[in-house]
Chain A
């Protein structure tokens, strides 16, 4: 068995073990860490496939840059979208955190008998 074939076999075994680990983890409730853990395992599997099955490990720097670039653009897509969706239920700043702005926040008490404006 050549060194190359040995590498592929080891990577294949690791990939199968990680798949077992991710199924095992999904049967145990560990709160919101479930998603983080499964995504971490999936990412490790993807990196192993990219580096060894797709030979990026011993590829020219341009290939590293191209493969890495796809991750960067994907993170921009996901990250910027979640700055919106991930923060929609955030509470507005409670009053008092910006004392200087407080007078501006108070709505003027309506005067009886006077219309707004003139």
Chain B
């Protein structure tokens, strides 16, 4: 389809010299296919989390007093700090992708390491928050015979809120753990200069995943922690 002459002018990044997998016409086509594949995966993730958001919305609509009272029992400042941490990590990821585009290996390694650190801090604060919910006398675990020390309206329905809280933040934390695994992998090979020779696609795709996990938290934070604080 492309003549070699057309390739050298069509390619805005000037990646004509780069290797590409044998089932692609050129580097650009491989790049666009991988990018589309990642986006399609993220669409399935939107639907996956969307189901949980739907359940949350239905129960919040039906049992508003229970959701108002339960939300106030969550640690607002832990959630707020975690929001800042996660937004900052998205910022460092965006800069990391930029460093990979520029081919700056040292900068890329630093920014990937910063992102990893922020991801670990997020999980640490999350673990602290979970441990609060297991404190004797203040236990709020609606499963497996744990105590549920809730003294507000609609105690049975409040269990739905905390069930959703643990399920949604738990699945989100699982995504964070997977993201951290991906970034450890990236950091390992970034140190060897694999992504700074023009082949930044892996960093870009991992970045898309990280931003997506950030977006989920952008919705989780107000829906779980900020139902009604007035």
Contact = CB atoms under 8 A, between A and B. Distances in A.
Interface of A: 2, 4-5, 8-9, 11-12, 15-16, 19, 22-23, 26-29, 34, 38-39, 41-42, 45-46, 49-50, 52-54, 59-60, 62-63, 66-67, 69-71, 73-74, 77-78, 81-82, 85-86
A68 to B, nearest CB: 10
Interface stretch (B41-49, B131-139, B162-170): B41-49
B35 A63 contact: yes
B218 interface: yes
B62 interface: yes
A70 B211 contact: no
Of A15, A67, A81, chain B has the most CB atoms within 10 Å of the CB of: A15
Contact of A26 (B35, B61, B230): B230
Contact of B95 (A8, A16, A50, A67): A8
Nearest to A71: B46
A82 B229 CA distance: 25
By DSSP majority rule, is chain B's interface helix, strand, loop, or mixed? helix
Of B32, B50, B53, chain A has the most CB atoms within 10 Å of the CB of: B50
15 contacts: A2-B98, A8-B95, A26-B230, A27-B229, A27-B230, A29-B228, A38-B222, A39-B222, A60-B32, A63-B35, A67-B39, A67-B42, A77-B47, A82-B57, A82-B58
A54 B211 contact: yes
B87 to A, nearest CB: 5
B98 A70 contact: no
Nearest to B79: A23
Interface of B: 32, 35-36, 39-40, 42-43, 46-47, 50-51, 53-54, 57-58, 61-62, 76, 80, 83-84, 87-88, 90-91, 93-95, 98, 207-208, 211-212, 214-215, 218-219, 221-223, 226-230
A66 B39 contact: yes
Contact of B54 (A9, A15, A78): A78
B98 A8 contact: yes
A10 to B, nearest CB: 11
Contacts of A8: 91, 94-95, 98
Contacts of A60: 32
Given A42-B222, A54-B208, A85 B98 contact: no
Contacts of A26: 222, 226-230
Contacts of A28: 230
Contacts of B42: 67, 70
A36 to B, nearest CB: 11
Contact of B91 (A12, A67, A82): A12
Contacts of A59: 35
B179 to A, nearest CB: 14
